[in-house]
């Protein structure tokens, strides 16, 4: 048995300042290596990225400009932060939202390797309104809630092709910064194109819920029930469905017959709860959003951590995940200094076949090739 650790931080900063810059300084080297290694330098120019932000998400443009400035203003940082036509990336997750006459909840399991999550719960007021959520790509969100009680979460749609659009985490940030209701969120998702296939579940304090499929390059489909895993309803087959157990998890969600207050319990057990951390597919956290209380409860390996927009407390939790496969222990994100040398085609093939390995394995292979070449 091998332990893997991830440090979760709860941070509050109204506008991007020294706290966000500290996070940037910590995370950017890894992300920059990933960006370069995945061909990001061959993507849109800085000017094209900013123009896309201006066209689709003009409300966020002042925030984007400030983030670029705080990050040092480099051309590569500006293109990365825009997430306009970024390199492709994969993930897992199970989502559901349930409402009744008196209550509503949105719950998600976030499934990935502990090496590849930022572990940051950020409370901000970048456009004047409180927003709280789990950060990805240093300023985007994988899930979150705002002062209107609007809650949202994403799941990878199971299709690796891409189109002209934004990274989904930036889109979720935009929705929470500018929308109050599920209806407004749906309008925003129709207008702003996603660069890959994603599934999104939404809930608001009026007890409205929705599940949406987002398609590469734009276009959405509203689903009949507010649940989602890692495949979509179209004819394109999902990537590695046997490995992610996407259909099994979706069927389980579809059969749930419980009220909003009991929904979270379903996510703390199999088949929704995953423990294959060494294969890059373990549940890192379960997030329960309560739109009426504007709160989130994070369950981290069985331990609950509650936060709300009104009573947010900065703090830290170090979580240990147990893997049955012997690999090197990991803390935080992996050292991706050799990421440009990773055989990413091999990574994709392995995961498509359900043979995913710890990211350290691919990094070690890249280093070995580098040494052989020298």
Span 69-125, pLDDT tens digits: 999 999 999 999 999 999 987 778 999 999 999 999 999 999 998 988 999 999 999
**pLDDT at position 116:** 86
d(CA 263, CA 108): 10
β-bridge pairing 120-124 and 2-12: parallel
**pLDDT at position 317:** 97
In a domain, 348, yes or no: no
Kindly state the tokens that stand for 43.
Answer: 């993507």
**pLDDT at position 242:** 81
User: What Å distances lie between residue 325 and 146, 278, 282, 328, 354, CA to CA?
Assistant: 39, 6, 13, 10, 15
- Beta-carbon contacts of 45 under 8 Å, excluding residues fewer than 6 positions away, are 79
In a domain, 309, yes or no: yes
The domain in which residue 288 lies consists of 94-323
In a domain, 274, yes or no: yes
In a domain, 220, yes or no: yes
pTM given for the model: 0.87
Mean pLDDT of the region 312-324 = 90
Kindly state the tokens that stand for 189.
Answer: 């998702």
Give the number of domains in the chain: 1
d(CA 120, CA 27): 11
In a domain, 38, yes or no: no
pLDDT tens sequence across 357-369: 555 566 667 666 6
**pLDDT at position 351:** 45
pLDDT tens sequence across 39-77: 999 999 999 999 999 999 999 999 999 999 999 999 999
Mean pLDDT of the region 213-219 = 97
pLDDT tens sequence across 291-311: 999 999 999 999 999 999 999
* Percentage of the chain modeled with pLDDT above 90: 77
Kindly report the backbone phi and psi dihedral angles of residue 91, in degrees, each rounded to the nearest multiple of 5, phi listed first. -175, -175
In a domain, 25, yes or no: no
Q: Look-up: residue for tokens 């296939």? A: 197
Mean pLDDT of the region 219-238 = 93
Q: What CATH number does residue 283 fall under?
A: 3.60.60.10
Residue 202 CB-density burial (10 A; 0-12 exposed, 13-18 middle, 19+ buried): buried
d(CA 210, CA 203): 7
User: What Å distances lie between residue 373 and 161, 281, 321, 336, 341, CA to CA?
Assistant: 32, 32, 36, 19, 12
In a domain, 159, yes or no: yes
Enter the DSSP assignment of 41: G
**pLDDT at position 124:** 98
- Beta partners for 289? 106, 296
pLDDT at 272 over 80: yes
User: What Å distances lie between residue 266 and 94, 260, 261, CA to CA?
Assistant: 11, 11, 11
Mean pLDDT of the region 155-182 = 96
Rounded to 5°, the CA angle 63-69-70 comes to 90
**Mean pLDDT score across all residues of the chain:** 89
**Bond from prior residue into 271 cis (ω within 30 degrees of 0):** yes
In a domain, 202, yes or no: yes
């Amino acid at each position: 048995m091998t332990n893997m650790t991830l440090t979760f931080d709860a941070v509050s900063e109204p506008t991007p300042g020294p706290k966000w810059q500290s996070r940037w300084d910590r995370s950017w080297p890894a992300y920059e290596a990933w960006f370069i290694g995945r061909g990001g330098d061959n993507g849109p120019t800085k000017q094209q990225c900013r123009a896309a932000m201006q066209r689709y998400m003009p409300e966020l443009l002042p925030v984007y400009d400030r983030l670029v400035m705080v990050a040092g203003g480099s051309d590569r940082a500006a293109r990365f932060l825009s997430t306009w036509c970024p390199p492709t990336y994969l993930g897992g997750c199970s989502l559901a939202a349930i409402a009744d006459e008196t209550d509503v909840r949105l719950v998600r399991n976030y499934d990935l390797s502990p090496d590849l999550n930022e572990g940051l719960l950020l409370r901000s007021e970048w456009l004047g309104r409180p927003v709280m959520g789990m950060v990805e790509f240093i300023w985007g969100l994988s899930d979150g809630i705002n002062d209107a009680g609007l809650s949202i979460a994403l799941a990878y749609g199971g299709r690796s092709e891409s189109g002209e659009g934004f990274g989904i985490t930036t889109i979720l940030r935009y929705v929470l910064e500018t929308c109050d209701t599920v209806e407004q969120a749906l309008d925003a998702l129709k207008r702003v194109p996603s660069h890959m296939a994603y599934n999104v579940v939404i809930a608001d304090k009026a007890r409205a819920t929705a599940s949406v499929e987002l398609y590469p390059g734009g276009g959405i489909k509203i689903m009949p029930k507010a649940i989602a895993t890692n495949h979509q309803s179209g004819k394109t087959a999902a990537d590695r469905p046997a490995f992610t157990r996407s259909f099994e998890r979706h069927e389980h969600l579809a059969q749930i017959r419980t009220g909003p207050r009991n929904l979270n319990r379903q996510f703390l057990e199999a088949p929704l709860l995953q423990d294959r951390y060494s294969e890059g597919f373990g549940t890192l956290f379960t997030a329960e959003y309560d739109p009426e209380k504007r709160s989130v409860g994070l369950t981290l390996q069985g331990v609950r951590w509650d936060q709300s927009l009104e009573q947010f407390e900065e703090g830290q939790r170090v979580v240990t995940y147990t893997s049955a496969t012997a690999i090197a222990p990991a803390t935080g994100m992996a050292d991706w200094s050799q990421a440009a040398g990773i055989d990413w085609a091999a990574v994709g093939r392995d995961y498509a076949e359900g043979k995913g390995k710890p990211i350290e394995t691919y990094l070690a292979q890249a280093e070995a090739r580098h040494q052989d070449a020298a």
